[in-house]
Structure 1
């Protein structure tokens, strides 16, 4: 192992399983001896890792069909990360200095099998962009919902990691009108002024006013929905959908982030009569069902970023000690776009 490496590293562990939404008090930042890579392994110094709402389900211990393990008390959190290889074991195809992505974030250094790392390359101009959730929006629009020129598109949860890219991507793919939803009036202004949303609705606690807002924003109806929320927002969207509307279900934050649930369910009232008579389709998007989408997205995302056709809204939270608070702030909806923790380069 290289002499300049520290003798210890830090990681974020779940200390106690919460009842309801986790807060900073349920986590601890713990120092550990820095491991040495074995055959086929690499040691990666993480530079950025993603703070994402799916941790709510994993910490709840009921991931269900999600192909990720639950997080129990004493476990280190994990998730997408970007870092630099600082040491490599024998037989590793990666070498110190290589930039990679992997799934062992929430720690300053990660001991990873080289086969579980993806070299970053130069397809994206900013390494943080590799932590974008835009691939879900792109896959939903191109593989499930079959976006068409002139479509009126609704994106629920438009100020989140998926939504801040779904609207602009829909526009680039030919949408005629793009509508978003967010519970924050300040975020609604940013969606209109910074990301080009034509209209943004701000849902309250009652369904009828939301249906009225959507009807005013889309007087001719909605052709396509990228839904990251579910709940009453999905119910309302069905009421204003045009005949033949396509719904791509990408997330279920209304249930996942409810303090009264375990993060593994998101019940919603669906008017099946309307679905049948209007010929509406609802399909759930899973990236594992669509191989090749990630590579296609990265190429187009890189081109759009370099040309200035799109931006990548994200918030950097400096320091691993702030990571637990950043997760709570994500659950509370305090941030706009993707949330990443930034670690020092050395």
Structure 2
């Protein structure tokens, strides 16, 4: 079996070491004997001391040889065995083996890490399928998305009633409520046809208006600065409702991340056949381990929420035929960039 044989390079090193040791020992033993025999001086006293010297050399060589074998071959293997035992005991498939040694030892460690990565990925897929399963996933995402416009409507009604009493204009509140209702209608329409992907219905829109409409559906704290960076004249054909659906979740995620005095920058850029939207914050940032999990349903680093917002974003953008990327640095902030196809 492959596991019963020693890697070729290590085996060659051990054979070479043994050969050198044997040659040195033979030369050490035979040379004086031939010399003394030739001179006719093979005395009893010399023979005794010579025997002791030979034994010391042989024992010393054997000891060094055993230490070499242990360090070159068995010590790294013991570390690998201990690592695998810990993984099996804790069930932590995210653990990775870091070890130095010969080419074969490093290759073996890399193979183990690759296997663990594949097992971790497949396990995540199975867990997600088990938790959600098709219709459940879409319905859960839709229910999560409906909460945002409902909160906007409640807040707008509160302000509307207050302005009515004061005799102030209420058109702005009515517009905000109308946009939220249309946003909810789009979500419900997506849920009605569970067997198909989300319907994409593009229309000519200004990029800056997509961002402004998104901000009208969320409540931004007074101590958080929001900057809109988009060409006011840029127009493209997009399904604004779908893009706003994704942007709302990204903005809400940024709001929950930034602290007092923080800043959020929402930008839009038109490329060759595509348009990108970015939401950048000055929050706490994320570690590499967190970045690997943020789009997983139910995963969250925050004390509140189901952990569905970013998985909703990923689902929307991928159904649109686009992609989403994230960059983050601990202590400095995070930037999400959505890129989708468009018609000029």
TM-score, normalising length: structure 1? 0.23
More relative contact order in 1 or in 2 (CA 8 Å, sep 6+)? 1
Q: Which has the higher strand share?
A: 1
Normalising by structure 2, what TM-score? 0.23
Determine which structure has more spread, i.e. the larger CA radius of gyration.
Answer: 2
Q: Which one has the bigger helix percentage?
A: 2
